[in-house]
Structure 1
């Protein structure tokens, strides 16, 4: 009986180790995909924001070149 119990425990722990390794691999892959997605979203946001800031700066330069009308 001792040999069968040891064999079953060894099989159980080997299966648990394999399942744990598979789970950790899946979580690691999921984390990498989520991180890449967030990085892409932030990159797009920064590009959009830079475009808006550039257009506002250009608008400000054009308005500063116009002569100032006096309010009399």
Structure 2
């Protein structure tokens, strides 16, 4: 009887370990999918803002050059 109990306990713990590993794998996969989706959403929000900032920086650079040329 003692041997059968040990085999059953070993089977239960092995099954729990396999189920835990599979759960962690699927949880990680779900996390990475969500992370990629959120990153893409943020990138689509910031692309127009980056364009505006770069155009303002170019405009400011042109204005600074005009100011320097006028000072000379």
2:42 paired with 1:49: yes
The match for 2:29 is 36
The CA distance in 1 between the partners of 2:34 and 2:48, in whole Å, is: 21
For residues 9 and 57 of structure 2, the distance between their equivalents in structure 1, rounded to whole angstroms, comes to 71
Moved over 3 A (4+): 59-66
TM-score, normalised via structure 1 length: 0.69
Displacement of 1:59 in angstroms is 3.6
Match of 2:13 in 1: 20
Instruction: Tell me how many residue pairs correspond in the alignment.
Output: 59
Q: CA RMSD for the aligned pairs?
A: 1.9
Deviates more, 1:36-45 or 1:53-62: 53-62
Q: Deviations over 1:4-44 (max 9, x none)?
A: xxxx1110001100111011101110111111101110111
After TM superposition, the structure 1 stretch with the greater mean CA deviation from structure 2, 38-47 or 51-60, is 51-60
